[in-house]
Structure 1
Amino acid sequence: MICLYVHIPFCRERCPYCDFFLVTKPGFVERFFEALAVETTAKASLFAGQAIEAIHFGGGTPSLVSPSFIDAWLSQISGLAQISSETEITLEANPEDLSPASLDALQALGVNRLSIGVQSFADRKLKALGRAHSAADARRVVSEALERFRSVSIDLMCGAGGETLAEWESDLRAALDLRLQHISVYMLTLEEKTRLWRDVRKGLRRLPGEEAQAAMYRLAAELLCGAGYGHYEISNFALEGRHSRYNLASWMREPYLGFGPAAHSFLVSGEAQTRFSNASSLTKYLADPAGAVDFREALTDEQRFDEQVFLSLRIRKPLSVGFLRKGHKLGHQHLDSVLVRLQEQGWIGVESGEVSLTEAGFLFADLVAAELLSA
C-alpha cells in the first residue's frame, strides 16, 4: 500500500506567519493541473496497481480550485491504482471557500475527510493572525461539513499577538462543543522572512513568550485528552480510529509519493530507502513536470537511525534501549546518563527496556531526540 500527496500551491494571499511554498496566481490553475497529469503519468510506475491507503490534497489552499480539477486527477489515479471506499481522501480547506454547494461537490467526487484551517473561533484573534474568515464563518462551515463527511478536522493555533490563556481555553472549548473527529493544535512560530517575523523584529507586534505558549499547549492536551481525544502526535488529537492516515504513515516512515511543486516523497524498495522532492518553483514545474524532481537521496544507515528516533518520538512510539545502544556513537555509559537525566526531568519513561515520551515530554520531543542522538 502507498499514500499519495498533492501540493496545490495556490492561495488568495499569504498569511503573515506562513512560510510554505505557495503562489497567489490563480490564472495558472488550469496549467498546473495539466502539468500534474503529466507528472502523474511519468511517476505511474512507482505506484501502478497498488492499493492507495490515503490521498491528501495540501497546499496552498486546495479548496480554492474548482472541484472539477480534483475530480479529473482522481479519475486519472483510479485508472492506474486501486482506490476503494476505504481509501481516505483528505482535502485541506479554508472556511471562506466553502459553501453548501461546494461541500456537496467535494463529497460527490469522493473526498471523505475535510481538514479546515479554522485557527480560531474568535474574531479578534483571527484578525491578529491575518485570516480572511470570521468566527461565524468558521462555526457555520464546520457544522455544515460535519453533516457531510465521515471525518472533519480543524487546525487551531495558539500564541497569537495579545492572546491570553483564557482566550485559548475558549477556542478549545468551542472546538470540543462541535465534537469533531480530529483537532490539530499548532503553536505560532516565527518563521524567518515572513511578514510576522519582520513585524516582530521591528517591534510592531509582540507574541506571548515561550512559557505562555507552553502553558497553552499543556492546557490543550489536558482538555482534549480529558474529552476522549487521543494525543497520537505532537500536534494532533483524534477520536478513536480517526487519526490522519497520510500523516501517520509519513511519521511511521511508510511509503508515500508526492506530486506538485515542493512535494516530497519517501519510497522503500527492498533494503533501499529513498527520499526525493520536487523543485519549489511553479515556473520550473510547469516547464517540465515529468522532470520535477530536483533532489534525491538514498538514506544511509545513520540517516535511517536518526529519522527513526525523531519520528518515533513525534508519535510516542516506544524506542527500545537496545536500538538506541546499537545506533549511538559515544558509548553505553553516556547514553545511560542521558536516559537518567531525561527521566529526572519528567520527559521520558523507561519501562521493560523501552523509552517513551511522557505527556510533558511531548512539548520537548525534538530536544529529547537531539539528546538521544548526541548520546
Structure 2
Amino acid sequence: MFSLYVHIPFCRERCPYCDFFLITRPGFVERFFEALAVETASKASLLEGRTIDAIHFGGGTPSLVPVSFISGWLEQVAGLAGLSADTEITLEANPEDLDTATLDALRAAGVNRLSIGVQSFTDRKLRALGRAHTAADAERTVSEALERFPSVSIDLICGAEGESAREWEGDLRAALRFRPQHVSVYMLTLEEKTRLWRDVSKGLRELPGEGQQASMYRQAMMMLCGAGYRHYEVSNYALEGHHSRYNLSSWKREPYLGFGPSAHSFLQTAEGEVRFSNASNLHRYLTDPANATDFREVLTAGQRFDEEVFLSLRIRKGLTVEFLRKGHTLGLQRLDDRLARLQAEGWIAVEGGQVTLTDDGFLFADLVAGELLSE
C-alpha cells in the first residue's frame, strides 16, 4: 500500500487538551493551498507511477476550509499518480462545520470516508472538553453523514473532568444507536504545555484517575465488541471491512508521503528506510513549500526493529517470537524472562509463536513495547 497524508493546520480555536500543530487564523487558507500545490508539484517524482490506496486529510480541522480547495488538490494528485474508484479518501471534520451543503460537496469532491470529532453526545462533557459543538450538532451530523458516505468514523473521548461511568456508558450507547462503521476511543491524556495540563498542574481542574479511565476503556471494549465491532488497534474499532486503511498501513510500516507543515513521511528507498518531516512552522512553509523538510533520517537496523515492535503490538496481529529472537540485543534468556513476566501480568498472549496484547494489555501497550525493545 501507498498512502498520502495532508496536514491542514487551521482551527477555529485550540481545544484545551490539544498539542497538534495548528493556527487559529483562517485568513491564511488560500495562501496555504497555493503553497500545498507547490509542495505537491515538487514531489511529483515520488508520486509518479504510484497507485494511491489511501489519502487522509488531518489537522487541524480540514472541514473548516472551503471544499473547493480539497477537490482542487485531489485533482492535482490525480494528475501525478493513480487514483482508483477504490482509493480511501478520509477527511477529519468537526460537527459545527458540517451542514447539509458541505456534506454533499465533500462527497461530490471524492471524499468517501468521514472522520467526525464527536468526542461526546452530552453537552456537559462537551463543555468540559472545550468543544464548540453541542450534543444536538453531533447527533444531526452523524445521522446526515451516514446517509451520504459509505464509511463514517466517530471519535469519542473518555476521562473528561467530572465524567462518571454512567455518562460514559451513555456516550457509547448513543454511538451504538447510530452504528457508524468505525469508532475511535481515546483516553484523555495530559499533553505537556497544553491549557489543560497547566490547569491540572495548578489544581484548577481534576481529571478522573487512571483506574477510572481504565474502567471506561474496558467498558468501551465490552460494549463495542459485543455489538460486532472488531478491536483492531489500541484505540480503534471497526465493522467488517471498515478499518482505516491509512492508519493501519502506517502501523504496518507501509510507505506514505506527507504534505503540509509538521507532516511526516516514510519511504523505502535505495538508501534504505527513510523518515522525514516538514517543519512545524506555517511562515516557513508558506515561504518555501518545496523545501519545507527540516528532519530526515535513514533508519538503522535497531531503529527498524524497535519500530516494528512498537507499532505491531498496537494492532491485533502482534508479532512473532521468531522476529523478537532474531532482532533482540537482550539475549534469549532475558527475552524469554520478560515474555514470561508479561504473560504472568496478563498483558500478552503467546500462542503458535505469535505475541499479541490481551484486552488488558491494550491499556499498557507502550509499557509492553518498552519491555521488548532492543537495548
Ranges of 4+ aligned residues in structure 1 off by more than 3 Å = none
Q: Contact conserved, 2:305 with 2:374, CA < 8 A, in 1?
A: no
Letter in 2 for 1:35: A
Per the TM alignment, residue 316 of structure 1 is displaced from its structure 2 partner at its CA by: 2.3
- Within-5 A mapping of 1:44-55: 44-55=44-55
Q: Contact conserved, 2:95 with 2:117, CA < 8 A, in 1?
A: yes
- Helix, strand or coil at the partner of 2:91: strand
- Within-5 A mapping of 1:9-88: 9-88=9-88
Q: Residues 142-200 of structure 1, C-alpha deviation per residue, up to 9 Å, x if partnerless?
A: 00000000000000000000101111010001000101000000000001111101111
Name the structure 2 match of 1:353: 353
Per the TM alignment, residue 329 of structure 1 is displaced from its structure 2 partner at its CA by: 1.5
Q: Contact conserved, 1:320 with 1:353, CA < 8 A, in 2?
A: yes
Q: Contact conserved, 1:278 with 1:295, CA < 8 A, in 2?
A: yes
Q: Which deviates further from its counterpart, 47-56 or 276-285?
A: 47-56
Matched, 1:178 2:174: no
Name the structure 2 match of 1:281: 281
Per the TM alignment, residue 372 of structure 1 is displaced from its structure 2 partner at its CA by: 1.1
Per the TM alignment, residue 322 of structure 1 is displaced from its structure 2 partner at its CA by: 1.7
Per the TM alignment, residue 271 of structure 1 is displaced from its structure 2 partner at its CA by: 7.0
Per the TM alignment, residue 325 of structure 1 is displaced from its structure 2 partner at its CA by: 1.3
Per the TM alignment, residue 103 of structure 1 is displaced from its structure 2 partner at its CA by: 0.3
Q: Contact conserved, 1:272 with 1:298, CA < 8 A, in 2?
A: yes
What is the TM-score of this pair, normalised by structure 1? 0.99
Q: Which deviates further from its counterpart, 45-54 or 7-16?
A: 45-54
Name the structure 2 match of 1:89: 89
Name the structure 2 match of 1:267: 267
Seen in structure 2, the aligned counterparts of structure 1 residues 271 and 224 have a Cα distance that, compared at 3 Å, is: farther
User: Equivalents in 1 of 2:224, 2:105: separation in Å?
Assistant: 31
Structure 1, unmatched stretches of 5+, are: none
Name the structure 2 match of 1:198: 198
Per the TM alignment, residue 49 of structure 1 is displaced from its structure 2 partner at its CA by: 2.2
Name the structure 2 match of 1:251: 251
Q: Residues 94-146 of structure 1, C-alpha deviation per residue, up to 9 Å, x if partnerless?
A: 00000000000000010000000000000000000000000000000000000
Letter in 2 for 1:81: A
User: Equivalents in 2 of 1:234, 1:184: separation in Å?
Assistant: 9
What is the TM-score of this pair, normalised by structure 2? 0.99
Name the structure 1 match of 2:101: 101
Q: Residues 226-285 of structure 1, C-alpha deviation per residue, up to 9 Å, x if partnerless?
A: 100000000000000100000001000000000000000000125710000000000000
Name the structure 1 match of 2:133: 133
Structure 2, unmatched stretches of 5+, are: none
Per the TM alignment, residue 12 of structure 1 is displaced from its structure 2 partner at its CA by: 0.5
Name the structure 2 match of 1:116: 116
Q: Contact conserved, 2:306 with 2:374, CA < 8 A, in 1?
A: no
Q: Contact conserved, 2:276 with 2:296, CA < 8 A, in 1?
A: yes
Per the TM alignment, residue 317 of structure 1 is displaced from its structure 2 partner at its CA by: 2.1
User: Equivalents in 2 of 1:269, 1:347: separation in Å?
Assistant: 36
Name the structure 1 match of 2:216: 216
User: Equivalents in 1 of 2:114, 2:320: separation in Å?
Assistant: 36
Q: Which deviates further from its counterpart, 119-128 or 319-328?
A: 319-328
Q: Contact conserved, 2:44 with 2:80, CA < 8 A, in 1?
A: yes
Q: Contact conserved, 1:2 with 1:47, CA < 8 A, in 2?
A: no
Q: Contact conserved, 2:271 with 2:298, CA < 8 A, in 1?
A: no
User: Equivalents in 1 of 2:96, 2:185: separation in Å?
Assistant: 20
- Within-5 A mapping of 1:303-342: 303-342=303-342
Name the structure 1 match of 2:153: 153
User: Equivalents in 2 of 1:72, 1:329: separation in Å?
Assistant: 49
Letter in 2 for 1:12: R
Matched, 1:363 2:363: yes
User: Equivalents in 1 of 2:45, 2:361: separation in Å?
Assistant: 42
User: Equivalents in 2 of 1:361, 1:117: separation in Å?
Assistant: 26
Name the structure 1 match of 2:187: 187
Name the structure 2 match of 1:167: 167
RMSD, aligned α-carbons: 1.0
Q: Contact conserved, 1:54 with 1:87, CA < 8 A, in 2?
A: yes
User: Equivalents in 2 of 1:30, 1:222: separation in Å?
Assistant: 45
Per the TM alignment, residue 208 of structure 1 is displaced from its structure 2 partner at its CA by: 0.2
Name the structure 1 match of 2:295: 295
Q: Contact conserved, 1:349 with 1:356, CA < 8 A, in 2?
A: yes
User: Equivalents in 2 of 1:8, 1:259: separation in Å?
Assistant: 9
